[in-house]
Amino acid sequence: MNMFGKRKINMKIKFYSMKQKFNKNLRWGVQAFFVLFSIYIWYRLYLFVRHFDTGGATPFVPRPESIDAFMPVGALVALKHLIVNRAVDVTHPAALVLFLAALTVSFLFRRGFCGWICPVGALSEFIGKTGERLFGRNFSLPRFLDVSLRAVKYLLLLFFIKLVLIDMSPQAVAAFLQSPYYKIVDAKLLDFWIRPGRNTILFLSAMVLLSLVVRNFWCRYLCPYGALLGVLGSLGVTSVKRDESRCTSCRLCTKGCPGGIEVHTKNSVRTPECIGCLSCVDVCPRGALSVSAGSFKLEKTVFAALLLGVFFAFVAVAKLTGHWESGVTYREYAYYLPIRDMISH
């Protein structure tokens, strides 16, 4: 083989190696972006609220509408309002938009919202990785306990479904969305995090400690939002498929799965625990695993681009149609925020 041929082969090997490295780091990069963006919008919300708390002594900072992503219960109420009252919530419309975006993403790309976008999921994974470095491994609960605890998030989901979708009347839904409490619920959430009570500190500490030893403890056992997205994902159009002829049952896919799925035993991964992270696809040394939409195989970069494209398309359409900005006026914030400790639901 001449020098030109060797150089061509070396370039192909180098390109393949760079592609593999990029694919493995792609999701972490996306997750890091959303974590940093979440910190940014919480800080912007703090500056927004502080302006009113100081009676205008500090500069006015526009409210970050993206903070509505942290109000899924309000979004569920807004969804019922849309269905039964045939009206879009004008108080915090971005909450419904982001909720529908998360539902759509999860139906099309497994629990892709959890695996790629959710900052809580990203932090949970980071804590689990830290625990793995500290203890040399993450620990698994006995199967009977694991299955029993996984039921908790579905029971919580059923509780919210009953509370909102079944028990609330159309009139109660409309009244809640126009209540003083819901108008300033974002500021109440901010207070919850920057002035946590004793029970909150104990609960968060327990979650961190448990997540150090049991990977993704919150997401796996307690998150009702993840439970809803998991159900949609299991009914969705994409799945990870295993080619038995290439599989050597090395179990690297199962070991790398943050959802604790025994990937090496399945021909098609459709369990609600799959977060669409594609970690199993990344670590497979034989290329036996791939993500597919029906009969079409998707590259990881294409999968990620489509997932993010669908999510941000909801945001773009909402902004273009006037369903993004909060309808709460400056005057209302100036009246309600300084007395928010006296306002409850």
Who contacts 345 (Cβ-Cβ below 8 Å, separation ≥6)?
176, 179, 181, 182
User: Residue 238's beta-bridge partner residues?
Assistant: 293
pLDDT of residue 260: 87
The ranges of the chain with pLDDT < 70 are 1-22
DSSP code, position 325: S
CB 337 within 8 A of CB 53: yes
The secondary structure of 93-118 as a DSSP string is: HHHHHHHHHHHHHHHHBTBHIIIII-
> Tokens 């609330």 appear where?
168
Helices (H), 161-299: 170-177, 180-183, 185-194, 198-213, 217, 224-234, 252-256, 279-283
Encoding tokens for residue 38?
């979440």
pLDDT of residue 345: 74
pLDDT of residue 256: 87
pLDDT of residue 120: 96
- Helix/strand/coil for 296: strand
The model carries a pTM of: 0.91
Give the whole-angstrom CA distance, residue 296 versus residue 36. 34
Q: For residue 191, how far is the Cα from the chain centroid?
A: 22
> Tokens 């502080």 appear where?
50
pLDDT of residue 125: 93
